[in-house]
Amino acid sequence: MLGRMEELRDRTAVVTGAASGIGLALSQRFAAEGMRVVLADIEAEPLESARRALADSGAEAIAVQTDVTQPDQLSALAQASVDAFGAVHVLCNNAGVFTAGASWQVPRSDYEWVFNVNIWGVIHGIQAFVPIMLEQDEPAHVVNTASMAGVTRAPMASAYYMSKHAVLSLSETLYLELENGPVGVSVLCPEVINTRIGSADRNRPPHLKRGELDDPSTFELVESALKQATAQGLDPSVMAERVVEAIHDNQLYILSEAGGAWRAACDARLEDLRLARNPSGPALALGN
Ligand SMILES: NC(=O)c1ccc[n+]([C@@H]2O[C@H](COP(=O)([O-])OP(=O)(O)OC[C@H]3O[C@@H](n4cnc5c(N)ncnc54)[C@H](O)[C@@H]3O)[C@@H](O)[C@H]2O)c1
pLDDT of 223-248, one tens digit each?
899 999 999 999 999 999 999 999 99
Report the C-alpha gap between 38 and 88 in whole angstroms: 9
Report the C-alpha gap between 255 and 168 in whole angstroms: 11
Q: Which amino acid, one-letter code, is at 165?
A: H
- CB of 28 within 6 A of ligand 1: the answer is no
pLDDT at 30: 98
How far, in Å, is the centroid of ligand 1 from the Cα of 98?
8
Catalytic member of 111, 160, 161, 253:
160
- CB of 27 within 6 A of ligand 1: the answer is no
How far, in Å, is the centroid of ligand 1 from the Cα of 12?
21
Domains and CATH numbers, the chain: 12-259 (3.40.50.720)
Active site residue 111: no
- CB of 196 within 6 A of ligand 1: the answer is yes
pLDDT at 158: 96
How far, in Å, is the centroid of ligand 1 from the Cα of 271?
30
How far, in Å, is the centroid of ligand 1 from the Cα of 22?
7
User: What is the reported pTM?
Assistant: 0.97
Candidate of 16, 42, 91 to mutate for ligand 1, largest count of ligand atoms within 8 Å of Cβ: 42
Along the chain (288 residues), what's the average pLDDT of each consecutive run of 10 residues?
Answer: 80 98 98 98 98 98 98 98 98 97 93 98 99 97 98 96 98 98 98 97 94 77 91 98 98 97 96 95 53
Candidate of 14, 22, 118, 171 to mutate for ligand 1, largest count of ligand atoms within 8 Å of Cβ: 22
pLDDT at 288: 39
pLDDT of 24-36, one tens digit each?
999 999 999 999 9
**Inter-residue contact 244 to 8 (CB < 8 Å):** yes
- CB of 66 within 6 A of ligand 1: the answer is yes
Candidate of 48, 203, 257 to mutate for ligand 1, largest count of ligand atoms within 8 Å of Cβ: 203
- CB of 24 within 6 A of ligand 1: the answer is no
pLDDT of 113-142, one tens digit each?
999 999 999 999 999 999 999 999 999 999
pLDDT at 286: 52
